[in-house]
A and B are shown apart, each in its own frame.
Chain A
Amino acid sequence: AQKVTQAQTEISVVEKEDVTLDCVYETRDTTYYLFWYKQPPSGELVFLIRRNSFDEQNEISGRYSWNFQKSTSSFNFTITASQVVDSAVYFCALREFSGSGNTGKLIFGQGTTLQVKP
């Protein structure tokens, strides 16, 4: 069965520290998509990145980077030089390509609450 696990419930760091948010997924599909979303205190989920299962290249966008490793079924997210504005709940999500994935349904992890202190 498909599943996304974010084992870190809460993380607290001091500004300028680097922080990595872990995401481990389970799927039997060979074709799937992985996503990261940010939910600031305002409540709206903000799309950060989408990755398909055939593209294992790491991605960097400013202070954000993502490490996708199929061998360990992980899609980790690193924030470099964290800032107070990074404080939010971060969700990892999986979409399979077949079966229930044809619906576009996203399977979300439980979320990791990141608090960045000044």
Chain B
Amino acid sequence: DVKVTQSSRYLVKRTGEKVFLECVQDMDHENMFWYRQDPGLGLRLIYFSYDVKMKEKGDIPEGYSVSREKKERFSLILESASTNQTSMYLCASAEDRGGEQYFGPGTRLTVT
């Protein structure tokens, strides 16, 4: 079974803090994704990566950056957290771009 883990289930941070969300997958997948999920807006793609050290912007990259130094790990960075980044963050991985994406349990981030 594919296993995607995220470093925290719940996180509370203050405005202006730098925040790191970590995602690890154990299936040697090349493709990894970061989404945020908000009520009424569904899931929106923030960034994705199709190889180590490669990254591409999704639909809403502003205020975020990512890092992929190892194949199994994809980190989402909030350079200076703001209250409008309070959300559920979901990481996913896929063997190939056409394949199904497997999701982690999510991190519910609150920025106060």
- Tell which of B9, B97, B102 touches A103, judged by Cβ atoms closer than 8 Å: B97
B104 and A91 form a contact (CB under 8 A): no
A23 to chain B, nearest CB (A): 13
Work out how many contacts link A and B, with CB atoms closer than 8 A.
Answer: 58
For A47, the closest partner residue in chain B by CB is: B100
A85 to B61, CA, bound (A): 35
**Interface range, B side:** 20 to 34
A43 to B42, CA, bound (A): 13
B10 to chain A, nearest CB (A): 10
Q: Does B43 contact A (CB under 8 A)?
A: yes
- Tell which of A46, A47, A97 touches B98, judged by Cβ atoms closer than 8 Å: A97
A106 and B40 form a contact (CB under 8 A): no
B104 and A44 form a contact (CB under 8 A): yes
Q: Does A102 contact B (CB under 8 A)?
A: yes
A24 to B92, CA, bound (A): 24
Which A residues have a C-beta under 8 Å from some C-beta of B? 33, 35, 37, 42-47, 50, 91, 95, 97, 101-106, 108-111
